[in-house]
Structure 1
């Protein structure tokens, strides 16, 4: 029985996420949200 590479990468990512501290994950998601907000503002100003 073989698993697809996508399944393997998902499993690996899950292991990595479980290894990282919740604080780091929260900070990363906040940074991503702020970054996307900045991009939206920049596009709104450009138009």
Structure 2
């Protein structure tokens, strides 16, 4: 079973084109989602530690 850190790291390593699709969103929206998920990951990181 993957620990929280490994699971989070593997999730963040996924390309954003795989998660959202280049043809579905523009670059600004993708950057905004990226920032949102970075903030969520920090919360998850602090909660898991």
TM-score of the superposed pair, with normalisation by structure 2: 0.50
| Secondary structure at 2:40 match in 1 | helix
- In structure 2, stretches of 5+ residues that fail to align are 1-17
The alpha-carbon deviation at position 17 of structure 1 amounts to 1.2
Give me the whole-angstrom Cα distance separating, in 2, the residues matched to 1:40 and 1:20.
27
Question: Quick check: 1:41 aligned with 2:46?
Answer: yes
- In structure 1, stretches of 5+ residues that fail to align are 1-12
Q: Which 4+ residue blocks in structure 1 deviate beyond 3 angstroms?
A: none
Q: Which structure dedicates a bigger proportion of its chain to helix?
A: 1
Larger radius of gyration: 1
- Please show how residues 1-47 of structure 1 align to structure 2 within 5 Å: 16-44=21-49
- Alpha-carbon RMSD across the aligned residues, in angstroms, is 1.6
